[in-house]
Structure formats: structure tokens, C-alpha cells
Amino acid sequence: MDPSHNLYAILRAGFADRLDMVFLRTPEDVVTYRDIDEQSGRLAAALGSRGVVPGDRVVVQVAKSANAVALYLACLRAGAVYVPLNEAYTDEEVAYFVEDAQPALVVRGSLDELVTDAAGCEPLGSPADRAGQTAAMLYTSGTTGKPKGAMLTTENLASNARALAGLWGFSADDVLVHALPIFHVHGLFIALHCAMLRGCEVRFLPRFEVSAVRAALRGSTVMMGVPTFYSRLLAEPDFGVDDCRTMRLFISGSAPLTESVHAAFAQRTGHRILERYGMTETGMITSNPLDGDRIAGTVGHPLPDVEIRAVDEHGAACPTGAVGVVEVRGPNVFAGYWRMPDKTASSFRDGGDDSLDWFVTGDLGSVDTYGRLTLAGRGTDLIISGGLNIYPKEIELLLDDVPGVVESAVIGVPHPDLGDGVLAVIVAAADFDPAAIAAALDGRLARFKHPKHVAVVTDLPRNAMGKVEKAALRRAYVDVFS
């Protein structure tokens, strides 16, 4: 097989001459690149013995661990489509994904059984040929409707990984602090692929815990995080230059980094955080430069081979500096939504003869004369809380069924720790009992989506069409978490 036809083979070529170096340093363990190569090979064989064949989906909801990384790589080697799920999802939420993805195998909770099986297997030989095929499928929601599986191909992931490892100057000498979850693009692909392409060491923490992260920063060189990581570090009064002596780069994304956090971090540590922008469907789209101006409030230039533009409501390109809907095309853009041809078609705009079509991101932004993108919010009601996306509709549907709730509107309002905090505004009947809300959501909705505050009102503001005016609600409750 041509090694460019399998993502694991591409990554392996990056660390092939560093097999005896540390890959994952976890709180309990030190895992070398050779260890992960052998373990992922055995797990790939174990998948085969369970009947998994190339193209089959494998749904995985497990805690962050070195074996979880090995299982991801095993899926790549076996040619299975890796489908990671947030550990916080409830049984009801997981049931939807399993029904939709029709997986050959579901791994939930413990990896022990699979790891025991793998111990008795010979590592899989040649990796599966996956040229032009889906390597992983990650669920992402629209504003209405159910989550959709975004199909990411070998080439989507490989092109993005190569571009980022180059742009951000990764080398074998880097040591990456990894405190992100590994069920999303950020922690799974962006962080791990950059490290593997260069054979770097990764300080692999189970979650973001501020004292463990501070300890890990000492001796490390790069960290990737969501803005909440940076505001939590700044909330430590004695955090500063001493913590960052060996660091060369802090990267932020998944949610807007405020100019005030950017400025405070620079003032405290001497480091200007490098902000970049991406989406599940596209991987990374733009990045501020490693060398050159990192401008707070902008998300930088398109990656090599990636094109962006802002368009007006008729689909015409906006003049320089004018805000429109951001569209993107390039090798990073996904193959489509799993078994949703209509939704896929309506998410793209015709790119003209012989050109790729444009993917419509739904983000609003403007492009300046230097080609730099500045985001200006979203065209939708999406809430981004601590870097996790939350769709109001999903919560409103459950709230509207709670006894005593007449109607509800869920919005995101500024939250000092999470960026956006989830607020539910409800119109209640006389018999409403506030405890009924928690009782109705528990077990049905992942806890990070639960409203952090519930406001009871006599009616919701509506426009002439009868649609709830969420912008007015956001203004009215702007200070609720401050």
C-alpha cells in the first residue's frame, strides 16, 4: 500500500525515527512511540477478530488515556471509521448516535476487555488502504435538527496536520501540554497529529486542572487550549513568567479569545497567545502567524491551500472589511454529512467550473486587505461554553415538556469562566416548581448543557413575526453571570 493512503502510516512516517522516545507522559505512565505502535497494532488486530472491516464505524465513549489514543490509531490502521463521543453524554444521547452511525462495534466505559483481547493478538500488518475514504466521523449539530456525522477523510486530516505542524514550527524538540478532551477535533486531531508528525513528547493530562497544568508547563514548549484554559491560568494570582520559562508557544481556539485575556496573558507572561479558527467540518481554517503580528481579536490568515471569503445574503463576495458569512474551500473541507445528502448539498455553494464548492460555515466575519479574518459572531444561536458547543433548541424542547413550563428560550450570555453561560428564560404556570427542571434534564441531557441559571418571566419578547427575540433577551440578561 502507498503510505499516503492511510492516516496512521502518514503519522508513523513522522515518528518512525523516534520509536524509543516518549510519546505520552501521563500521570501514571510513560508510553513510547514504539509502545503505541505495538499497542495500536494489537488493538487493530483485536478489532478484526471482532469482525470490524474497513469502512465500519466504531463508536467510542471512554475516558482519556493512552489506550484510548491507541484505539483511535488502531481504527485508522484497520480502516475503521473512528466515531468519538463526549464522555458526558447520557445513555439517551448515546442511543441517538449509535442508531445513526450503525456501528459494527461500540466501546463504552471501559477499554479493559478490548485491551485483554489485544494482548493475545499479533499486531496487524499493513494498514488498510483508505485513499479518499472517511477516517473519522465526528458529530456536530445544526441549530435545528439532530446532530450530523461529519465525515473527515484521510486527506482532510493529513493536509491539515501537515499545514499546522509547519505553520506552528513543530520540531522533535517540542514538548506539548495536552489537557484537552480527545473526543473533539482540537484535542484529538490538532494536538495529537502535530505531535506525532514530529515525534514530540506529549504531557497527557486527564483533564484541565490548573495546578497539574502549571506543573506540566515547566519543561514544556507548547500548549493548545480553549480560552477558558487561559482565563483560569490568569485567575491564579501567582501565575506568570516563572511558569512559562521553557514555553515557546500558546495556542487558543474553539471559542473567541477576548482581547482582555490576550492582553492580560501577554502582560503576565510575555507570551502573545496565537489564536486560530476552525470547525469540525473543516479542521483548522485560519491561524495567526508564528512569526509576525499576532493580532488580538483576529483569527489570522487562511492555512496554505485553504481559501476563505465573506459573502452577503445573495452569495456575492463582500468588499474588503465588510462583514458577511464566512465560506471556506480547500483540502481540509470534509466529504459531507453521513447519510444526509440534502443537508450536505445545502451546506455548500457552487464554486464555479473546475473549482471546489464553498462550505458555508455559518460564522460571520470580515476579511481585511492583508487577507486576515476577524470573526463577528455567528448567524445562529449556537452557544459556545468552555469550548463546547451547545444548541439551544435541544434544551428548549426538553424544557417545554417540564410540568409548569409554558414556554422557554435558551440563550448564551457572557460568563467569566466559560465565555458563554447557558441561561434558560421560562414562562411558568402557577403550579411551576423550579426543582422540576433539574429532575427533567437529569439523565437525559449531558450536564455541561444544563442551564447555569433559570429566569422566570411573564412573557418572552417577540418580533412582528412572533419569533422570540433572543438578541433582546441577551441584552436584558447580559450581567446575570458577572
Residues that bind ligand MCA (CB under 6 A): 180-181, 184-187, 207-208, 226, 228, 253-254, 278-280, 385-388, 418, 447-448
In the complex with ligand MCA, which residue's Cβ is closer, 52 or 279?
279
With residue 34 as reference, give the H or E element that holds it: helix 33-49
CA 238 to chain centre: 30
Stretch that binds ligand AMP, among 48-56, 68-76, 248-256, 352-360 (CB under 6 A): 248-256
Choose from ligand MCA, ligand AMP, none: what does 103 bind? Cβ within 5-8 Å by kind. none
Least CB distance to ligand MCA at residue 370 (A) = 22
Interface residue with ligand AMP among 11, 74, 279, 398 (CB under 6 A) is 279
Q: Is 421 one of the binding residues for ligand AMP (CB under 6 A)?
A: no
**Residues that contact ligand AMP, how many (by CB under 6 A):** 17
Looking up cell 427533567 gives 440
Cα(107)–Cα(178) distance, integer angstroms: 23
Answer whether 310's CB lies under 8 Å from 322's CB.
yes
Cα(201)–Cα(30) distance, integer angstroms: 10
Least CB distance to ligand AMP at residue 257 (A) = 6
Per-residue cell: 42:
494489537
Nearest to 146 by CA among 108, 189, 186, 95: 95
Q: Is 278 one of the binding residues for ligand AMP (CB under 6 A)?
A: yes
Give bridge partners of residue 385 from the DSSP assignment.
388, 419
In the complex with ligand MCA, which residue's Cβ is closer, 79 or 421?
421
Stretch that binds ligand AMP, among 264-272, 275-283, 303-311, 432-440 (CB under 6 A): 275-283
Stretch that binds ligand AMP, among 25-33, 63-71, 158-166, 277-285 (CB under 6 A): 277-285
Q: Is 220 one of the binding residues for ligand AMP (CB under 6 A)?
A: no
HEC profile of 111-157: CHHHHHHHHCCCCCCCCCCCCCCEEEEEEECCCCCCCEEEEEEHHHH
In the complex with ligand AMP, which residue's Cβ is closer, 6 or 280?
280
Stretch that binds ligand AMP, among 28-36, 52-60, 271-279, 424-432 (CB under 6 A): 271-279
With residue 98 as reference, give the H or E element that holds it: helix 91-101
Cα(362)–Cα(271) distance, integer angstroms: 31
Residue 396 is which amino acid?
E
Residues that bind ligand AMP (CB under 6 A): 140, 253-256, 275, 277-280, 299, 361, 363, 375, 378, 384, 389
